[in-house]
Amino acid sequence: MSIEIDQVNKRFGDFVAVDNVSLSLNDGELTALLGPSGSGKTTLLRIIAGLEQPDSGRIRFHGQDTTDLHVSDRGVGFVFQHYALFKHMSVYENVAYGLTVKPRRQRSSKAEIRKKVMHLLEMVQLDWTADRLPSQLSGGQRQRIALARALAVEPQVLLLDEPFGALDAKVRAELRSWLRRLHDELHVTSVFVTHDQEEALEVADRVVVMNHGAVEQDGQPEAVYDHPANAFVYGFLGQVNRFNAQVQGGVARIGPLQLPAAEFAGQASRRATAYVRPHDIDVLPTPQHGTLRAQIEQVLIVGPHARLALRTADAEETVKVELSRARFRELGLQQGADAWLKPLYSRVFLNDDQLADALD
């Protein structure tokens, strides 16, 4: 079931929640709406579901205009962040609820409902919890039950609003992998909202990055991460170092350091910012051509990684670098010592005060 979002707008008073958004989501695709708080991603999800009406624009499911359809007529399954399970009902009754409240002429027999519910519980690996109450389950188990309940009505579209936001880090990681496997098995067109960059990049077929109600970039996770469309996307997708630079003649200068900026070769001298991810910087114990001097302020060994914080002479913020632990030991680096930074990959964007404010 494809979804077409056509020039959708939504305001709450003076606040612009969704600003002229147009997207075409493919049949069977798992799409992540990713962005900071207030970016409009949850409002857009609720508009797709029919829980909110847009001020203008249209929503179409597989070519059919559903903008004015009631949520109950859209064939969507919705999974909330805080499960929204009925506390007084057993797990079985929760999953069966959507099937039992259908009009009599559309309702399956009790035997058919039971067969379907138990199949779904087996699918989410929780068939042994059928007679338990939600309060007797862990957070991760409750979220899987909420997903089984949403799937019970055989939705054309599955919508998930921060589905793992209330869970601890380890359970979140486990459920992310589980959701990806489940989607590969079912191929239900799915859209989930998250502010967790790692979650979106790991789980989704497609990532839509939103900010201030608008779409900043839309594409496959690897493409969005490797080729961010602008400074906001680069700064939002994972940790990044920002260096004040001056661009001229296709080169960005940061003190003695020169970084390639061929896209600005024909422009006059301009202030800019160079973006470099922590794993795209090498650290050397001795000066070399094309390096920037810094002092190592902190060293943290985290499993197989060494995370360094360094200070350059004119930096307002510390520079974060991530090396393999083996590489760190090979270099013989020490906290408090001088070191020289060598960016391996960078992107340069001309300064834009509005983008800078959004990132801060």
Residue 15 clears pLDDT 90, i.e. is over it: yes
Coil, helix or strand at residue 86: coil
Percent with pLDDT over 70 in the chain: 96
Structure tokens at 99: 């099937």
User: What separation, in Å, do the N-terminal and C-terminal C-alpha atoms of the chain show?
Assistant: 38
Average of pLDDT values for 55-77?
93
Nearest to 149 by CA among 112, 113, 178: 113
pTM of the shown model: 0.85
Q: Which of 216-220, 300-304, 354-358 has the lowest mean pLDDT?
A: 354-358
Nearest to 204 by CA among 218, 221, 225: 221
β-strand pairing of 292-302 with 241-248: unpaired
Q: What is the mean pLDDT of residues 115-139?
A: 91
Residues 6+ apart with CB under 8 A from 245: 252, 253, 254, 259, 261, 271, 272, 273, 274, 348
At position 339, the amino acid (one-letter code) is A
Angle ∠(335,337,338) on CA atoms, nearest 5: 135
Q: Which CATH architecture has domain 3-235?
A: 3-Layer(aba) Sandwich (3.40)
Q: What residues does each domain of the chain span?
A: 3-235, 239-359
Q: What is the tens place of the pLDDT at every residue in 265-302? A: 777 888 999 999 999 999 999 999 889 999 999 999 99
Query: Which residues are CB-neighbours of 242 under 8 A, at least 6 positions away?
Result: 235, 273, 274, 275, 317
Angle, CA 73 vertex, CA 71 and CA 79 arms, to 5°: 45
Measure Cα distances from 20 to 32, 81, 257, 259 in Å: 19, 26, 41, 37
Identify the pLDDT of residue 260.
85
- Encode pLDDT of 140-198 as tens digits: 888 889 888 888 888 889 999 988 876 777 878 888 888 888 888 888 999 999 999 99
Task: Kindly report the CATH class assigned to 239-359.
Answer: mainly beta
- Provide the 10 A C-beta neighbour count for residue 257: 20
Collapsed DSSP state (helix, strand, coil) of residue 183:
helix
Phi, psi angle pair for 31, to nearest 5°: -110, 135
Report d(CA 304, CA 313) in Å as an integer.
29
For the segment 310-333, the average pLDDT, to the nearest whole number, is 89
Q: Is the model's pLDDT at 358 over the cut of 70?
A: no
pLDDT of 357 > 50? The answer is no
Distances, alpha carbon 280 to alpha carbons 18, 62, 74, 255, in Å: 35, 42, 46, 19
- Please give the structure tokens belonging to residue 322: 């991530």
Predicted pLDDT of residue 185:
86
Angle CA(272)–CA(276)–CA(278) in degrees, nearest 5? 150
Residue 234: predicted pLDDT: 93
Q: In 3D, which of 97, 175, 182 has the Cα closest to residue 143?
A: 175
